[in-house]
Structure 1
Amino acid sequence: MKKQLFALLLLLPAFAAQAQKIPYTNCKNCWVPDSLGNHRVVLTFNGTGKAAKVIIPWRRRDNDPENKRVIIEDAKTRQKVTNVKLSAITRESGEVVFEPTSGKGTYFVYYMPYKNEGRSNYPRGIYLKPENTASPAWLNSLNANIPAATVKEFQSIDAFNSFYPMEVIATKNETDALIAKHKSESFLVFPEDRLNSIRMTKDLPQRWIELGPQSKYTAAALRGENFSFQLGVYALQNLDDVKVTFSDLKTATGKKIPASALFCINTGGTAYDGSSLTKTVSVAAGTIQALWCGIDVPASATAAVYAGKASISINGKTSKEIQLSLNVSPTLAKNGGVDEPWKMTRLGWLNSTMAQKNTVIAPYKPLVVKNNTVELLGRKVEVNSDGFPKQIQTFFTPEMTEYADAPNNLLTEAIHFHFLNTAGKNIKLKSQGLQFTKQEPGTVQWTATSSNDSLQMEVTASMEFDGFIAYTVKVKALQDVSFKDITMHIPFKRDVAKYMMGLGQKGGYRPENFEWKWDVSHKNQDGAWIGNVNAGLQYSLRDEKYVRPLNTNFYLQKPLILPSSWGNGDKGGLNVKDDGKAVLANNYSGERKLSKGDVLYYNFNLLITPFHTINTDFQWATRFYHAYKPIDTIKQAGATVINIHHATAINPNINYPFIAWKAMKAYDDSAHAAGLKVKIYNTIRELSNHAYETFALRSLGHEIYSPGKGGGFSWLQEHIGDDYIAAWFVPEIKDAAIINSGMNRWHNYYVEGMNWLTQNVGIDGIYLDDVAFDRVTMKRVKRVLTKDGHPGIIDLHSANQYNKSDGFNNSANLYMEHFPYLNRLWFGEYFDYEKNNPDFFLTEVSGIPFGLMGEMLQGGGNKWRGMVYGMTNRMPWSDGADPRPIWKVWDDFGIKGTKMIGYWVDDNPVKTDHDKVLATIYKKDGAVLISIASWEDTDTEIQLKIDWKKLGIDPVKATITAPEIRTFQHAKTFGLNDKIPVEKAKGWLLIIK
């Protein structure tokens, strides 16, 4: 009778009281999740017979649980129970009948088993479908009087995977009862502790049913703490324009925390570029919106209880007030509490303006305006009366190691627009003059307006100390007007326009005739670089709606927006041709009509290259070791800088280096004691699911995380749910990343985080693996990394972007805006160092035309060709291309202090008699190291052509020797006129003394 009564109770829909008593526990590493899933129910059975029955009140947040397999395991034998019958499987509960194979005892029910398919680093978690393994005989033996098993506990594979308490759903009956009780209200508020992140948007947590909606929130904080809390809004009706405002918090004696110290990250803040950000929050009926709020408790606050209120308004009308009570402890929080990020103390970082002021960053110099000319490091720009560059000059020698006295002019005439009427005649505009509106060390701005009776062009430009110029060109129709074309011409000097990169053109020699059309759906292309080693210009075409797209593998999921001006449907495009006077870049937009009052924005950006001279001594002295290894091992290898990748013991989580920071600091301290520097992997493109702020960031909609189809690793599917893009995954530590949406407030957090790591952990720089932020954030990062004398070394790795997924871009062209702040390039994966020509190496890999130097990656690179550009590979990335033998030659020769003269320099004193066998020299007094590399199709012999006078060596006393270099060359001595054999795709390092 007791068993029957118990079974009846289990069948009742109102099982909340029983469910509340069932504990949720974690059983770390008690089973293998990849075959059984991350969750199980522990059952106990004390009956007898061949069947046991249980109703499991699992309260699941996943959809369609009836389509997921249930696996039952005998705890004693660890064998799968095959005789199982399921019925009434819902999100709230499931009825399970099974054979207790060991009789009385414990049984495990795994209810979300999955398997991973696809690439190990981009897995697809596939949940197993239900199966029927029960024998017909066992099924036929079942009757109505089946003894009951008892749910003992719910278990997760570890705490990180647990659904408790915020993902244990309320039942429909509980939710309906709550709604009925508050049917006159438009929404309910559930204040929640910062340690219980609100995770679900479509289900109420059971916890909230138990606690009920509240009109008061009470908490405790330390003096000086960055305190966070949540206001969970459950909409009973559609809510528009939800906002939160705060009163002052006051003590009984009148002390106060001002309202300005309270904030809500969901309704507004500070954008990544320092501008004010206002967000519109709408909540659909039946859904939940977490409002994450913060209180910056002053360090000077008196220890007392502070009381005030948070007012939640809908469409500007106050609807509810939540009384706030904060008990401030006499204890002073260390560093605002940000050293304990699991307490959500860093949410205020999202609104940071740290390092936002555009101060000049070394080695750049303050801008100087003389008349209409702006001077900057190694360059000058003369501005025309219409606001566009009349002339652009650079002052770099072809060697790129020194500044030149004589200028290199980039243009044959000013950059200009043509407005062609339907007859093809240029509509001339009269300039009203140029006006400089800002002259600061880091930024110079100017405006100019040109017009006639039918058209007005307003030009606003901003130039920065690194050579970046942003143009806003507003074209307004003063009356109805028709155009055959609107074009912008950039007339390059021929000797400057030697190379080209971008717009589908692989880096190398500029083609004689080049044509290009917009195709943003498939191609991440809106501009190109045209230049020579010591003078060049990158330009990109945009309008006022420009949004930075996703990069690398995810471009197609958030591509460029076609600029309505330049693109003009399918009419816009670009061609580059030699017109006899200049190499003309003709940027056209095609035929169109404008009605009176219509406005178009023909915006564009310019980057003047190079950015600075090459620091060759940094290249020789700074030797990266790209692996987490013992300090002694790295020092003995001869490296000087350690790059700590993610998925390592001291930096386990991708782009979130804050969890193992104490171990990282200990390692950094040990490295510094040994004379080494340490840099860490930390970029933005994706973010680990282990970030403490994951669900706070999710509450911001698509501001931080990109929209997407979801999927990926099981944790993402079980806890994030849907509407995201799954990214990189590390199987060993189950670190699953989510794609960042682009330009957003996470960049503010990133800058603050880099500052914290520099000041508190002692990092010496960062290693960037592609870049998902723009130059605004890059400048801020460089400022905090180099503050207080820290070295702030930044190197950038990129895989070859020229493919379908990446939008057919060039890594160097895509990331050129960041080059002014980098110390080295590492290009990169999928770069072919064997089949590409020297002009490709020079423009896309070496960094030399931009004032940088690089290293090779794929397959270790080609060591002979690399040295023509001063490049080796990186330890210990490729066993077959150990750079140490070449490092030894550098040291034995004394390469530090030498002058690098590349094969691209016309008056290089050492050449070969073969066009496809090139020579770069490293020259010092009385000696020269010659790097020779072949691009010939076969083995060949070459003879050196040496200008001994320019070389500064007496040929009568000179010797040519090839030192022994392991895996590179055998020792050999050559006569001055000897033929030198050169193998295909190889070369020599020769020393002349």
Structure 2
Amino acid sequence: MKPNLKNNPILSRIVLMYFFIISIPLSAQQIKYTDGNDSWNPNQLGNHRAMVVFSGTGAVAKTTIEWRRRDTNPDQKRIIIQDATGKEITNLKTVNITRESGTIFFEPVSGQTTYYVYYMPYIDEGDANYPKGVYAKAEYKADAQWLAKIKTAVADNTTVQEIQSVNAFNSYYPMEVIATAAETQDIIAKNSGSSFIVFPEDRLNSIRMKNDLPQRWIQKGVQNTFTDTALKGEYLAFQLGVYALQDITNLKVTFSNLISNNGAIIEAKYLNCINTDGTRYDGSVFANTVSVSKGKVQAMWCGIDIPQTTAAGTYTGKAVVNCDGKTKEITLQIKVTNEVTQNGGIDFPEKMTRLKWLNSTLAQENTVIAPYIPLVVKDTEISLLGRKLVLGSNGFPTQIQTFFTPEMTSIGTKPNDILTAPAAFHFIDATGKESLKWKNSGLKFLKKEAGTVSWESSSTSQSLQMDVMGSIEFDGFVSYAVKITALEDATFNDINFHMPLQSSASKYMMGLGQKGGDRPQTFDWKWDVAHKNQDGAWIGNVNAGLQFSLRDEKYSRPLNTNFYLQKPLLLPSSWGNENKGGITITPNQKTVLVNAYSGNRTMKKGDVLYYNFNLLITPFRKIDTDFQWNTKFYHKYSNLDTIAQTGATVVNIHHANAINPYINYPFIEFKKMKEYIDEAHQKGLKVKIYNTVREVSNKAYETFALRSLGHEIYSPGKGGGFSWLQEHVGDDYIAAWFVPEIKDAAIVNSGMNRWHNYYVEGMNWLTQNVGIDGVYLDDVAFDRITMKRIKRVLTKDGHPGIIDLHSANQYNKSDGFNNSANLYMEHFPYINKLWFGEYFDYEKNNPDFFLTEVSGIPFGLMGEMLQDGGNPWRGMVYGMTNRMPWSHNADPRPIWKLWDTFGIKGSEMIGYWSENCPVKTTNEKVLATVYKKNGTALISIASWADTDVKVKLNIDWKKLGINPAKATITALEVANFQPAQTFTAKDEIPVAKGKGWLLIVK
């Protein structure tokens, strides 16, 4: 795909630079670097070639190409020569192939003067979306008679006219054209006695190489002054390229005030270096130490946040690069024009203005998000939407309650207790007894805010001190930091934590290697972080449950979605205890005991262990069934009139299309996106876009600035993947999703980092300036802090902020055998709808799996089906259909039509899981859910029986609110679902295996 230069100013600029011959010659003539305009197929020929003109005579042409390549081992890569007609020249021989240059002999074709030398040919192997660019090995097929004609000492009889890249985006010019070894040694010699050299560089020429100096710096020479022009209010980025002449550590950049000739000042506080200073994604201080090995290049990205009130003029100051006590001063001369830009110039990301976003604190305040309500503290009770937490004097829960009805459509007054006794730690000594006697300081509240309540408590025994820090947030997230300090040497057979759960609140289980469904009677689990993304589980019922996760102070969120094994969980030193720890679940008459044990250990005086854990109290909210019926997704970029005719109400714009081409970087074609969204709004449609942070497109303007941050943004890895990544990013990354049609190659994000600040700011910008109505999340690579922030910016100023979450089933080896719902539960309070997803089996799994892993109902959500179009009969028991037009073998419109005919909006959904459901069948494997309205009802029945069966309906007519003497039971015709038919209450209804009915009772 050719880059859209009209809407991509940075690529336009690069193209123009290709046609510019450098004016400072190092040799007789500087090679031109030009754009090949996609005039050849890079797969097999590669992305780079030299255009050579033969001016000699005879059967041997000789050319020496000063290609200045950044790739290693060029002598091992194949060279392909074609004439101007595309015919390959097989008679060729290479001599002295190095990174700096290469000499090639080839046989010219009669009548042809122009030849193309392709010097990095590759073939894409592997999966189309996860390619492996394999570079062809050197191969020589010249015949002996022609080889005998070569005289190596003769002069070149060709001229190297140009070095071309297949397109502008693939070019090495100017920042990846390497300096020669001689040039590098010369500049080192001229700076002998220094430990490093500083090369100032502007924002439009990102420093890309860490192992080589660019030729550009040799030509410019060492500069001690950086000059640039900025607008009032603009964030002006620039780089200081540090070349280490010896190993250096603790690299820092400090700044002076910038002062104009008239005495006006831009204070130093408006300047910063993003490599070393900033704000983390959670609002805490970011401080990083940068070290550079001898012979390596480190880009230090800096920025000046010029106030809008700054007077026009030229401002001068200093950037001081400090390392190990040695300094280099760079004079900054910044001309501020009279022109004013808005929002720091962020509408022009090609100018790196959005690097400011990396340190954003936007939407960080923990304000309450609808539909949640402020927390209320009364004595030791903390109340929140539909739930209550009661604390003991030691800071741990003595009771947790919910008030949701079994139907999940309302919040009642009757409490559903989750605990049968207080949650507690137990310290078992060598005799197998718990002998510690504790003195407790009592419960002390530290914060009582609408969004967060926090507390502390300290307990002391002769040998241990236990400091408890706890907090709860408005959505039901409870966090504990439990610090155990040894006051003297002590040995324990076990340190464990007990959560005694009500059996009524423990019907289902999901996590710890257990697929979602009925909780097993007994359960035993051990840590295995190397292979399993498992540190907790959810146990509960539809209207009351608890998720727990066990961590320590070194917890780091692992990678997910195909990449868990490349960055797994860290084993908690407390709970894991060298893999001695684990979890057992055992029931008795009234209690289901969750025992998180850590095994025997010895603590020396002064040793500290952190037994941290998180809880999520479920459900998060009551189900909004009308949102389910009113919100019908069309999940594809398409003509808006066509979409409107389907009855869909929300358009999901994936990536790899005209208005959102590049994965997780929806900023390049934003003008087209805005035009589309404006038109959609005129037609009564909402539009959401695909945008996550799991991976980032290589088309991101900031790619190399982010690379300069080491492993903060991009995860370490073995590299490889698509050729562009290998040729420009080089090494130490994980290649992610690739779109072959537009050559969009993504790189895996490392986890919790400042890119999330950028992400929040980007979502805000898209909402306010482009008009998006929400976001489609395709798995999630951030935590609940970022989720809350994006929900705030998406819903600001009355925007709908719809978030739907898709996940492919994470219960597999590559994802560490975690359950999607368990993995993403912390995000559920802010999700509007689930779409679970690829590899979810809707045919072979039981109803309890549907309920817990797919439907979202126990958490206050509803969902849709994906894999193979889902099972429409079973889906409707949970209010689910598939989604248009993603599943080509299933169309939800006939069911949508039935919804409208019945008038499902405003109905009360009473699922088979509720004891109040007024309809059951005579077969326990054929389940019924009722959608009840005044004087009528829609009954959805679906079979999990092994064969075709016949069932009768057992109807509680009083609960249904219908007079049986006047009742009719009708099956309307629904295409590809059911024929038209009428039944009586006494009839046996035939139910095919895996199918069911939608019956209207009046």
Normalised by the length of structure 2, the TM-score is 0.97
- Equivalent of 2:738, from 729, 732, 745? 729
State the shift of 1:45 in Å: 1.0
- What are the residue-to-residue correspondences of 1:568-647 with 2, within 5 Å? 568-647=577-656
Q: Tell me, what secondary structure is at the counterpart of 1:260?
A: helix
In 2, distance between residues paired with 1:871 and 1:431?
A: 51
**Is 1:924–2:930 an aligned residue pair?**
no
Letter in 1 for 2:148: N
In 2, distance between residues paired with 1:644 and 1:908?
A: 38
CA contact (8 A) 2:64 2:156 kept: no
Letter in 2 for 1:768: L
- What are the residue-to-residue correspondences of 1:737-752 with 2, within 5 Å? 737-752=746-761
In 2, distance between residues paired with 1:428 and 1:41?
A: 81
Structure 1 unaligned spans of 5+: 1-14
**Is 1:268–2:283 an aligned residue pair?**
no
- Equivalent of 1:360, from 341, 355, 368? 368
CA contact (8 A) 1:429 1:451 kept: yes
Match of 2:700 in 1: 691
**Is 1:166–2:153 an aligned residue pair?**
no
Match of 2:398 in 1: 390
In 1, distance between residues paired with 2:230 and 2:816?
A: 49
CA offsets, 1:921-950, max 9 Å, x none?
A: 000000000000000000000000000011
Q: Does 357-366 or 249-258 show the bigger shift?
A: 249-258
- What are the residue-to-residue correspondences of 1:437-586 with 2, within 5 Å? 437-586=446-595
In 2, distance between residues paired with 1:795 and 1:139?
A: 66
Q: Tell me, what secondary structure is at the counterpart of 1:670?
A: helix
In 1, distance between residues paired with 2:375 and 2:244?
A: 54
Q: Tell me, what secondary structure is at the counterpart of 2:286?
A: strand
Q: Tell me, what secondary structure is at the counterpart of 2:562?
A: helix
In 2, distance between residues paired with 1:145 and 1:357?
A: 74
In 1, distance between residues paired with 2:612 and 2:395?
A: 13
In 1, distance between residues paired with 2:231 and 2:156?
A: 55
Letter in 2 for 1:503: L
Residues 1:349 and 1:230: Cα distance change in structure 2 (over 3 Å): same
Match of 1:120 in 2: 128
In 2, distance between residues paired with 1:471 and 1:148?
A: 76
Q: Tell me, what secondary structure is at the counterpart of 1:141?
A: coil
State the shift of 1:349 in Å: 0.2
Match of 1:865 in 2: 874
Q: Tell me, what secondary structure is at the counterpart of 1:253?
A: coil
Match of 2:217 in 1: 208
Letter in 2 for 1:117: E
In 1, distance between residues paired with 2:921 and 2:28?
A: 84
Residues 1:229 and 1:400: Cα distance change in structure 2 (over 3 Å): same
In 1, distance between residues paired with 2:106 and 2:598?
A: 71
Letter in 1 for 2:230: A
Letter in 2 for 1:637: T
Letter in 2 for 1:559: P
Task: Give me the identity figure in percent.
Answer: 68
In 2, distance between residues paired with 1:675 and 1:723?
A: 47
State the shift of 1:17 in Å: 2.5
In 2, distance between residues paired with 1:782 and 1:570?
A: 38
In 2, distance between residues paired with 1:949 and 1:866?
A: 27
CA contact (8 A) 2:437 2:462 kept: no
Letter in 1 for 2:568: P
- Equivalent of 1:86, from 86, 90, 94? 94
Residues 1:105 and 1:934: Cα distance change in structure 2 (over 3 Å): same
In 2, distance between residues paired with 1:663 and 1:511?
A: 53
In 1, distance between residues paired with 2:584 and 2:462?
A: 31
CA contact (8 A) 2:83 2:112 kept: no
In 1, distance between residues paired with 2:28 and 2:760?
A: 45
Q: Tell me, what secondary structure is at the counterpart of 1:349?
A: helix
- Equivalent of 1:758, from 743, 750, 767? 767
**Is 1:816–2:825 an aligned residue pair?**
yes
State the shift of 1:579 in Å: 2.9
CA contact (8 A) 1:865 1:987 kept: yes
State the shift of 1:335 in Å: 2.8
State the shift of 1:252 in Å: 1.4
Match of 1:34 in 2: 43
State the shift of 1:724 in Å: 0.3
Q: Tell me, what secondary structure is at the counterpart of 1:826?
A: strand
CA offsets, 1:677-698, max 9 Å, x none?
A: 0000000100000000000000
Match of 2:20 in 1: none
Match of 2:788 in 1: 779
Q: Tell me, what secondary structure is at the counterpart of 2:559?
A: coil
In 2, distance between residues paired with 1:806 and 1:102?
A: 59
In 2, distance between residues paired with 1:509 and 1:45?
A: 77
Letter in 1 for 2:398: K
- Equivalent of 2:345, from 314, 337, 342? 337
In 2, distance between residues paired with 1:588 and 1:569?
A: 12
Q: Does 654-663 or 327-336 show the bigger shift?
A: 327-336
- Equivalent of 2:432, from 424, 436, 445? 424
Match of 1:886 in 2: 895
Match of 2:142 in 1: 134
Match of 2:855 in 1: 846
- Equivalent of 2:381, from 373, 376, 379? 373
Letter in 2 for 1:536: G
Letter in 2 for 1:758: T
CA contact (8 A) 1:47 1:104 kept: no
- Equivalent of 1:710, from 704, 707, 719? 719
Q: Tell me, what secondary structure is at the counterpart of 1:18?
A: coil
CA contact (8 A) 1:419 1:428 kept: no
In 2, distance between residues paired with 1:89 and 1:729?
A: 32
In 1, distance between residues paired with 2:111 and 2:52?
A: 12
Q: Which portions of structure 1, spanning 4 or more consecutive aligned residues, are displaced by more than 6 angstroms? A: none
Match of 1:181 in 2: 190
State the shift of 1:584 in Å: 0.2
Match of 1:61 in 2: 70
Match of 1:322 in 2: 330
Normalised by the length of structure 1, the TM-score is 0.98
- Equivalent of 2:806, from 792, 797, 815? 797
Q: Tell me, what secondary structure is at the counterpart of 1:590?
A: coil
Residues 1:774 and 1:147: Cα distance change in structure 2 (over 3 Å): closer
State the shift of 1:147 in Å: 5.4
Match of 1:904 in 2: 913
CA offsets, 1:401-434, max 9 Å, x none?
A: 0001110000001110101111111123222100
CA contact (8 A) 1:48 1:147 kept: no
State the shift of 1:552 in Å: 1.2
- What are the residue-to-residue correspondences of 1:400-411 with 2, within 5 Å? 400-411=408-419
Match of 2:119 in 1: 111
In 2, distance between residues paired with 1:119 and 1:875?
A: 26
State the shift of 1:46 in Å: 1.6
Match of 1:351 in 2: 359
CA offsets, 1:475-517, max 9 Å, x none?
A: 1111111101001000000111000000000000000000000
- What are the residue-to-residue correspondences of 1:223-234 with 2, within 5 Å? 223-234=232-243
State the shift of 1:907 in Å: 2.2
State the shift of 1:27 in Å: 1.4
CA offsets, 1:836-867, max 9 Å, x none?
A: 00000000000000000000000000000000
State the shift of 1:18 in Å: 3.4
Q: Tell me, what secondary structure is at the counterpart of 1:552?
A: coil
Q: Tell me, what secondary structure is at the counterpart of 1:34?
A: helix
- What are the residue-to-residue correspondences of 1:912-991 with 2, within 5 Å? 912-991=921-1000
In 2, distance between residues paired with 1:688 and 1:925?
A: 53
In 2, distance between residues paired with 1:80 and 1:360?
A: 68
Structure 2 unaligned spans of 5+: 1-23
